[in-house]
Structure 1
Amino acid sequence: MFGLYRKLLITYLLILAAIIAILSMLVFQFFKAELFERNQNMLLDAGQYINTLLVQYQRGDINEQDLIRSINTTGQIANARIIVIEGRDYLRNREYLKEQINLDDDELLQNLQEIYYGNTVVSHRQYSESLDSYVTGVGMPAKIGGEVIGAIILFTPVGKLDLTLEKVIDMIIITAMVAFAVGFILVFFVSKSISKPIIAVSNSAQELAAGKDTMDLQVSSNDEIGQLVNSFNEMKWQLQQTEKMRRELIAGVSHELRAPLAAIRGFVQGILDGVIDIKDQQKYLTITLQEINRLTRITNDLLELAKLESGNIRLNKKVVNIQRLTNDVIELLKDKIILKQLHLNINNNREMLMEIDDDRIRQVVRNILENAIRYTPEGGKIGVHVKEELFSINIIIEDTGIGIPESEQPYIFDTFYRVEKSRNQSHGGIGLGLAIAKNIVNLHNGEIQVESKLHNGTTMIVKLPKA
């Protein structure tokens, strides 16, 4: 089974090889076409020059010896064999050409006819038996005064052209091999750089799935791979936090359940065994009922949170007076406020109506206010204010309690998150109240903000949109 690195390496090398092969073929075809075109142009130029010599010979400017010598010199320079045919008897001339170069009869006849019609004929590759070689040639009419008086045939063996092409092929092969070697080195390092972080993410994910702790992966780029590594590190941190909170929840719930269960069992067992006097049974039964209520409250909070996070909650909205709602919650918790001798400041003198789920928002206000009471020392201050803004109505609950560390403020609304576990255990609660409140406010398309400094109190702001 090939890993990612091998797959990338092989894929890139195949692409590189294909590109080099295609480019090599294109370069070869270009050189071949250029070479044959130059050879053709050279033969055409030589043919035009010979036609000029024929005109000069016809006018008597040069003699026959000068004509033959010039034609031979031109053939040597052009590396071509030159045949000059007088007259337009193409049948006789065809036989003559066939004896000279043994070209294909049908094609020769057709070419001669074209030449006598005044056209130039180019043959890129024909086999000549007399030369035992393939030749490339040019045939053009010999004209004097615009009249065709014969034909000029120039042809050269392609052997030398092929030799040149072989040298070109050797150069292309060497260049392609060098390019492939350089490309291989580049592909090797590029594949390594791409696959290394992905393989690291894969290995870390497997370790994480196996329950092992893993170090954060190093980010070496700002591209999509770097974003992947950052996302994995963030996901790993979230999973670790979730696992940590899960364990803390189990420990907290176990602790919260164990204490009341132990008290209930002890009191009931004492009554059944007759250890507790009849006159004291009412007191201990009252304590037992309180512990049962506590168990019920914990269970209800867990069920409520599960419903909210599953999205199976439907809001029962109706027009509610926010002033009356907050006053009712304060009245409900007044005994706890008096018990801790807390100073209460209320600022909600004006009626404010809005459409909300009455029971759910009461739960939000109660959870936040209970936290304020729980974490504010005796003799401290608590304020409850209702403020209307342009697009929202804000319920503000502030206290002079112990505050929340700045580093933990972003997580206080997370499910199962508890600020300083020992603090929660000493003050009661298992850290579900704010998570429930946050989910309820989100269902109303609102938001909860927190402002707090350690040892300087906390302010919670519930913003509920008007529409």
Structure 2
Amino acid sequence: MMTSMFRKMLMAYMSVIIVAFSVLTFALHFEVRHFLAAQKLLVLNQEAEDILPILERVNGNPKFYPAYDRIVSRYKRVDNTAVNLLLIKNSELVKIQRLTNQLISHNAILNRTAVERVLSGQQVQLIGPFSTSQRQSTLIVGVPIESEGIIIGALFLHTPMQELQMGQVTELILLIAGPILLLSIIVLYFTSRRFSTPLLQMNRAVQAIGKGSFTERVPVTSDDEVGQLAGAFNEMAVQLERLDHMRKDLIANVSHEIRTPLTSVRGFIQGILEGVIPASDQRQYLTIAHSELSRLSSILNSMLDLSAIETGRITIQSGPVQWAGVVEAVTERTRVRATSKGLDFEVSNTDPSLTIWGDGDRLTQILFNVVDNAIRHTSAGKISISSAVADGKLRITVRDTGEGIATEALPHIWERFYTGSPSRSSGEARSGLGLTITKHLVEMMNGKIEVESKLGSGSLFTIWFPIFSTV
């Protein structure tokens, strides 16, 4: 079935081709007509040159008339060339009775100017009606007739324009143009289909993706712009499919993480209200409930932060920040978790006078997310934080001896909802938003974050920030 795009392209191409062929045929018609007219005038000139010597002999001796009559008859028969003589009264040719039907008067010739030019000794060539009795378009050649150096008249040879057989010329042009036009239409048909088919396939794929089928792909059959568009579409479809998987994983993970603390909190409160939990143990269970609610709040805050970043509603309150204070705050919040897992926690090279420009709370959030991620995926060994000035910038490194990240997963760890492969089973709550938020915040403060990792060999996160002051 032809698509609307296909019809538009085909009709546009066909219209251009038909108009071009029509103009070309029209131009060729007139060019060929002009060429044939010029050739015919040359023939008439040659015939006039053949007739003149014989006519001059006839003027002196009428016995040469049969030769003159034969050549005139032959030209009439072969080329439909008519001969007329305009004679001055004192010419001997006037006395030849057999020339009567070829004689013509001044008044009978329409183009008086041409007559005057020929009688003045010039040769003329013109196209138009010849006499008052012949109004059709005619090719005319006029030459003067001389006798002993004196002009005694004018010889006119003329033939109708239809003798050029323009009908046959037009048929020949159409005969040639017709197959070419047909071939052009066939080529345009398949060319239009070649361009429109990928667009139709993309349209169907978009509709399928809109209905939730993210496995649709468009065949890439060329390297041109349409092929590049198809390739870009397939890449987009791959990203959408991955994003859909991440979204489903997020819903499953977040639902689990939200349901677990809510179930615990509800059970503890219900136990206290029903008296199942003794008064002496209520504080302990309330502490656990408070911890669960804090974890729930952290998950929700992460989702709200990402939403604010993506919609441009997040604000950065930038100012001078002492980096040592940020490291100390993060260390206090994470050391207990690291120690509880049996991990060594090491902080080094933090210059207390080092100041950077940024939002203190967001800087704390950035470092916390990176360190928290390291603790989450490290079951043995140590976590180390190092800060130093390099290349005129602050370089912060967070190294762990954890499970590491597979090479093929490295490009995706910054994507929202990405929680890694099932093999990365840390047992910790994960929403797949921490590193996404971290990267956005780092870039919003003119920084850069990088990662180096190998599966089973730990990870190294490096953060760069511009230095505000070292005083």
- Residues 19-418 of structure 1 correspond to what in structure 2 (within 5 A)? 19-48=20-49, 65-66=63-64, 69=67, 73=71, 76=74, 79=79, 80-87=81-88, 107-126=110-129, 134-142=137-145, 149-162=152-165, 165-350=166-351, 351-378=353-380, 380-390=381-391, 392-418=393-419
| Alignment check: 8 A CA contact 2:348 2:387 kept | yes
Gaps of 5+ in 1: none
Whichever residue aligns with residue 284 of structure 1, its letter is Y
Structure 1, 233-242 or 222-231: larger mean CA deviation: 233-242
Once superposed, what is the RMSD of the aligned Cα atoms? Answer: 3.3
| Alignment check: 8 A CA contact 2:326 2:364 kept | yes
Could you tell me how far apart the structure 2 residues matched to 1:342 and 1:254 are? Answer: 30
| Alignment check: 8 A CA contact 1:321 1:353 kept | yes
Deviations 1:195-217 (A, max 9, x none): 21111111111111122344322
Deviation at 1:131, TM superposition (A): 6.7
Structure 1, 309-318 or 73-82: larger mean CA deviation: 73-82
Could you tell me how far apart the structure 2 residues matched to 1:447 and 1:70 are? Answer: 107
| Alignment check: 8 A CA contact 1:372 1:401 kept | yes
Whichever residue aligns with residue 334 of structure 2, its letter is L
Deviation at 1:46, TM superposition (A): 3.7
State the secondary structure of the residue aligned to 1:456: coil
Question: Taking structure 1 as reference, are residues 328 and 69 closer, same or farther at Cα in structure 2, changes over 3 Å only?
Answer: same
State the secondary structure of the residue aligned to 2:384: strand
Deviation at 1:415, TM superposition (A): 1.4
Could you tell me how far apart the structure 2 residues matched to 1:66 and 1:312 are? Answer: 114
Between the aligned residues of both structures, percent identity stands at: 30
Could you tell me how far apart the structure 2 residues matched to 1:348 and 1:146 are? Answer: 123
Could you tell me how far apart the structure 1 residues matched to 2:354 and 2:149 are? Answer: 110
Gaps of 5+ in 2: none
Could you tell me how far apart the structure 2 residues matched to 1:129 and 1:276 are? Answer: 132
Deviations 1:146-203 (A, max 9, x none): 87543221101333213xx222222212212211222232122212211211111111
Question: Taking structure 1 as reference, are residues 103 and 25 closer, same or farther at Cα in structure 2, changes over 3 Å only?
Answer: farther
Could you tell me how far apart the structure 2 residues matched to 1:145 and 1:360 are? Answer: 119
State the secondary structure of the residue aligned to 1:261: helix
| Alignment check: 8 A CA contact 1:135 1:156 kept | yes
Whichever residue aligns with residue 367 of structure 1, its letter is N
Deviation at 1:41, TM superposition (A): 2.4
How many residue pairs are counted as aligned between the two chains? 456
Could you tell me how far apart the structure 1 residues matched to 2:89 and 2:448 are? Answer: 103
Whichever residue aligns with residue 157 of structure 2, its letter is L
State the secondary structure of the residue aligned to 2:111: helix
Could you tell me how far apart the structure 2 residues matched to 1:52 and 1:305 are? Answer: 108
Deviation at 1:144, TM superposition (A): 7.5
- Residues 441-460 of structure 1 correspond to what in structure 2 (within 5 A)? 441-460=442-461
Deviations 1:429-454 (A, max 9, x none): 21111011011012123222111111
Could you tell me how far apart the structure 1 residues matched to 2:61 and 2:105 are? Answer: 31
How does the TM-score come out when normalised to structure 2? 0.86
Could you tell me how far apart the structure 1 residues matched to 2:462 and 2:438 are? Answer: 12
Deviations 1:207-247 (A, max 9, x none): 11122344322211000100111111111112222222222
Whichever residue aligns with residue 377 of structure 1, its letter is S
| Alignment check: 8 A CA contact 1:309 1:439 kept | no
Whichever residue aligns with residue 108 of structure 1, its letter is N
Could you tell me how far apart the structure 2 residues matched to 1:445 and 1:222 are? Answer: 38
